[in-house]
Every structure is written in C-alpha cells, then in structure tokens.
Amino acid sequence: MADTKKWNVTDLPDCTGRTAVITGANSGLGLVTAEALARAGAHVVFAVRDLARGGAAAARVGGSTEVRRLDLADLDSVREFADGWDRPLDLLINNAGVMMLPEQRTKQGFEMQFGTNHLGHFALTNLLLPYVTDRVVTVASGAHRFGDGVISFEDVNLRGRYTPVRAYGQSKLANLLFTLELQRRLTEAGSPVRALAAHPGYAATNLTSHHGNALMRGVMAVTDKLLAQSDRAGALPTLFAASQDLPGAAYVGPDGLGEWRGAPTLVSRSAAASDPEAARRLWTLSEELTGVAWGLKPVG
C-alpha cells in the first residue's frame, strides 16, 4: 500500500487505456478529478446535467474526453444514461451532489438531497455494475455525522422534519452505508471490483453557496476563505481512492486536524455508518424506491 502521508496528484499512476465515468464532472471537485485523470491518460466521461457546460469543461481539460447527459434527480435520466453504455468501465466516480438546499423534490418525488446524492447514484451504480472492471468510488462527507446521525427509515423524505443539515447528513450517511453493502455484495458474488468512499474535508467549492439559509451562506462564504482547502486539495482523497491499492469499503479523507484538510489517508466513520444491518436495510429500501435491483451474477 502506498504511503498516504504526503501523497499528491503527481503520484497518480499512468491511467492510459482506462475509462472513468465521473458524475458532476463539469465543476468543483468533479472537474479537478476529471482533469487529473485525463492528464494521467484516462478516457474521462463527463456525466453532467448540462451538456453545454459539460462540453466547455471537457474542452478546458483536454485529453481524451466525452460528455453524456445525466440528471441524478431524475431516475429516467439515470436509466437512459445506463442504457447507452455498452463497453467496459474501469472506474465509476459517484461525485455529483447537492448540499443543504431549501426543501425540494426530485422528478420522482424524493427529497432532493437523498434522491440526488444517494438514490441517483445507487441506481446508476447498479445499472452500470455489469460493465465495471475495477472500482466504484463514492464521494461522502464528514457531514454524515450531522443531523440525526441515522437514516430516517420511517420517512427518508423527512416530511415535516426537513432541515437542510438533517437532509444533507442523511444523504452522506447513505453514501457510506451504500459503499459498505455494495462491497459486501461484490465480495459475496466473487467479484474483483472494489467499492470505496472518500471525502474532501472542508473544500471550497460551489456547493457551499447553495445553503437554504441566507445567513449560513454568508457564514460559509467567510469560512471558505479562512479555513477551507482548495478544490484541488479536496479532490485528492477521491483520486487516492480511485488509484491506490486499498481494501474494499475503505474510506479516505484528509489527514489533518478534524479531517478538514491535508493529504489523503484512511479515516474512520461513525458507528451508524459502519452498521451492516442498517446498510442492508437501506439497500432494500433503495431497490424499492428506485425499482433498480442488484443484478451482478456470481462469478464462476
């Protein structure tokens, strides 16, 4: 295993011949991740809502790229993306997300943060999994400890209980439980594919400008300038998880105080994010909500 203490983007191995799909690759951490992988020789697919913005971003990145439309807040769009995929996929990076929005709903009526950050990626991963050859990396957050700190199984849409922080925390907890159960299922099926998670620490990206509370938007704008690390530093845990020899279900984050900033390393998660029964229960619920089931056949 590589030395995690001072790992940087210059340590990214040659990715020539590898194909990566990155959701939300047109801005923020996704764009930085796409740029690094393309520079290392990978063919990078920008899976984005806005084809024009995605095309402009891909043009700036250069290298071998393509742009495909994907709206994670619309399961029909997720299925359309997956239906159009027909070749091996080395790396799926579930990067896109929304953060602390005013209460909204996806096209299918799910709470927007849970629906986009978790359900959209859950469906996409399962639909693409027969093509994945190496690993799935899902971008989580230290915020998985926020809010109630557990999945509200009685009502994941949080009707009558919605707050931007509670919903965001639940969606990020779901990302980690999804990774845990995905790895269990991959291992059980005898698949060599690995599921990993990463979080960027406190990184200055456009996500922090979308908070549902105007006062909090102002506070976060100030703390972004004073405390946050750059989006390039924030993308390092994702790139580390995408390229290094790590165990399945590993969780990567910054090594600094409070995991806010620093070089990528293996980090811990909350007890709730390590609960295998909650992970199984969430998986079953997610299959019911999305209509997308586990489809990977056992190897051998």
Which residues have a catalytic role annotated?
A: 168
Do the Cβ atoms of 300 and 291 come closer than 8 Å? no
Q: Which residues pair with 136 in a beta bridge?
A: 92, 195
The residue to which tokens 């806010």 are assigned: 260
Handedness of CA 294, 17, 248, 69 (dihedral sign): negative
Do the Cβ atoms of 288 and 75 come closer than 8 Å? no
The single-letter DSSP state of residue 278 is H
Residue 84 CB neighbours (<10 A): 10
Backbone φ and ψ for 179, nearest 5 degrees, come out as: -60, -40
Relative to beta strand 89-94, strand 132-139 is: parallel
Exposed e or buried b per residue across 123-152, where buried means at least 16 C-beta atoms within 10 angstroms of its C-beta: bbbbbbbebbebbbbbbbbbbbebbeeebb
**What does the alpha-carbon distance between residue 176 and residue 179 come to, in Å, rounded to a whole number?**
5
